Amino acid sequence: MAEVTIDEKGRILIPKSLRESANLSKGKKVRLSLEGRRIVISAVVDPEEFIREMRGFIKEGSPVPMSDPIELKRIWHTG
């Protein structure tokens, strides 16, 4: 856990060790959400990256039905 200070423009600096652990780099988009009194920062996965990561996850003949990765992403984000 890290403690940071909010500047006069409402910005915070995420410590380098946390950015590296979360694979966040300059220009990477993040999503902010509020869970109770906690602000949660989550990396946004673009559709191309999601498809690359999911490719080959469900094999032909698997009991799990083949699904469109974009539809899976939509379900994942609304769940």
User: The CATH number of the domain where 40 resides is what?
Assistant: 2.10.260
Pick the more confident residue, 35 or 50: 35
Q: What confidence category does residue 20 fall into, taking pLDDT thresholds of 50, 70 and 90? A: very high
Whether the predicted pLDDT of 12 surpasses 70: yes
User: Does residue 46 lie in a domain region?
Assistant: yes
Model pTM score:
0.55
Residue 20, classed as helix, strand or coil, is: helix
How far from 3 is each of 12, 16, 32, 51, 79, CA to CA, in Å? 10, 13, 18, 35, 30
User: Does residue 3 lie in a domain region?
Assistant: no
11 Rama class: left (phi>0) / alpha (psi -120 to 50) / beta? beta
Task: Tell me what pLDDT residue 35 has.
Answer: 94
Whether the predicted pLDDT of 32 surpasses 80: yes
User: Does residue 29 lie in a domain region?
Assistant: yes
User: Does residue 6 lie in a domain region?
Assistant: no
User: Does residue 60 lie in a domain region?
Assistant: yes
User: Does residue 7 lie in a domain region?
Assistant: no
Domain count, the chain: 1
Whether the predicted pLDDT of 79 surpasses 70: no
Residue 41's domain comprises 16-78
Whether the predicted pLDDT of 44 surpasses 90: no
